[in-house]
Amino acid sequence: MANFSFSLNGVLNNLPSSLSSIGYKAKNALSRKLKSSNEGKRNPHAPSDNDFDENDSSNNNNNKKPSSSSSNRLDNSSSSKATIKSSNKKPRVKKPKVEVKYCDKCLKDEEEKVQATHYCSGCSMNYCEAHINLHNSANKTKGHAESGQVSSLAAAHVPLALLPDLQQICVLPNPDSPFSCTIDHGYGSLFVLDGDMFMEYDLTTKELVNHFREPQERRAVRVCYDSNDDTLIYVLDRCASHDIVKTSRDGKMIHWQLDDQSPIRDMSVDPIDGTIYTVQNDGIVCVKDGKVSSTLRENINGNNMFVDTYDNICGVTTNHENNLIVVSNRYIITCNKKGKIFSKVEKVSSGASKRIHLDPSGEHMYFIGDSGIESTKLNGTCRTEFRNDKVDYDHKFEVSRGEGIDMAIDFTSGEVYVVNPHKSKVQVFK
């Protein structure tokens, strides 16, 4: 059935335009039928464990590769032939996971997990940003901070250069049709969507260390990483609808697929419990374990709780207090996961805001704006922009209303990875 579906895909793709809708429906129906049989099964296009056998260099013909055309494209790349020699690559080793500490006050008083930002040795307690401010201003405990008993729990990071000062330091090897990217800090990897391929790069060496094909050879349009269970979350574009797929980080196992979602404008993964937050129809659709768990859109009066008729939601992420940051063309909105709004501030400049990244301090956010990469404080002020427009044509961005590039930021190194589909490049800036 699988071989038949792949050959049928080629036939349907070549149908006359007058039959395109019929071909699309047939192709879509077949894909959905195959999906149920593939969930929980090994991806036949993923590399086997033997692909990373260091002693297999004398028997390269037995190495499994995605396909002859894909392997030729990768292996014959004039810029980096050596980076794809999987027989010389060691299996990826995950770094020891840093224990996430939660605010003791939030756990005790509200039974809510909020990431702690500070520790007080005088109280022997971890505090979030809100509670440490109360702690440091209370007459009973403010002396703890003055005597040096309060320490930060923030992980070490390299300050990101001001956006106008970013400089390209390299271009990653091998991509052909890159479209989206995401970072896995556990293994120190960057995943790039490249057509129907997933390309894994080492964040330190910038070398290609693994590649595998999407189980049904479908082109994904957006990808995120869930560090809770080391999985990839990606979106399939069905024209009128989108599907969400969760698969293992090596592409060998499909965990689940959620079909027939409204077009997804942005997506992020909760670092605490793995809930997926998507922007659909000017609302936030929350997905957990392959099912829609809740939707934040309308208030009790039936009106949109976030925006009015003349505004649109374009981005979503979570902050260090375990709340949602919802960004529209005009506003930055902070609310809890039930939709209770805590703040709504107007941006100094209206426009698109997608692929939102909060810096480790939680005070600045970076995103793809109307013409390039932008940053602003969460209070809507101090806007800066990086358009990369002072370079040759082959390296320029082509961005319109938040579309045209994708990005991922590694705050541990201060590097910004930009997927530039129009120029078939993954550019690294610092």
Question: If you average pLDDT over residues 391-417, what whole number do you get?
Answer: 93
Q: Which residues contact 93 (CB under 8 A, 6 or more apart)?
A: 187
Q: Which pLDDT does position 358 carry in this prediction?
A: 93
The model's pTM: 0.74
Query: What does the pLDDT look like over 27-54, one tens digit per residue?
Result: 455 545 545 455 555 555 555 444 444 3
Q: Contact at 8 Å (CB) between 244 and 39?
A: no
Task: Say how far apart CA 406 and CA 266 lie, in whole Å.
Answer: 11
| Range among 126-140, 141-155, 355-369 rated most confident | 355-369
Least confident range from 65-74, 136-145, 332-341: namely 65-74
| pLDDT tens-digit series, residues 149-187 | 888 776 666 677 778 899 999 999 989 999 999 999 999
Q: How confident is the model at residue 96 (pLDDT cuts 50, 70, 90)?
A: low
Reported as a pLDDT band with limits 50, 70 and 90, residue 130 is confident
pLDDT of res. 77? 37
pLDDT score for 89: 56
Residue 147: band (very low, low, confident or very high) from pLDDT cuts 50, 70, 90: confident
Q: Which fold has domain 163-429?
A: Neuraminidase (2.120.10)
CA gyration radius for the chain?
Answer: 23
Q: How far apart are CA 129 and CA 114, in angstroms?
A: 9
The residues spanned by each domain of the chain are 2-72, 104-152, 163-429
Per the model's pLDDT, the better-predicted residue between 376 and 361 turns out to be 376
Structure tokens at 216: 């049904």
Amino acid occupying residue 386: F
Cα distances (Å, whole numbers) of residue 243 to 237, 238, 240, 274, 275: 7, 7, 10, 18, 16
Residue 409 makes CB contacts below 8 A (sequence gap 6+) with 160, 183, 357, 366, 415, 416, 417
User: What pLDDT is recorded for position 7?
Assistant: 45
The DSSP code for 347 is -
| Average pLDDT value for residue range 98-110 | 80
Side-chain half-sphere exposure of 243, counting CA atoms within 13 A:
16
- Nearest Cα to 283, choosing from 292, 291, 271? 292
Average pLDDT for the chain:
82
Quick check: 258 pLDDT over 60?
yes
- Of 112-126, 351-365, 372-386, 389-403, the least confident: 112-126
Mean pLDDT of all residues in 230-242: 95
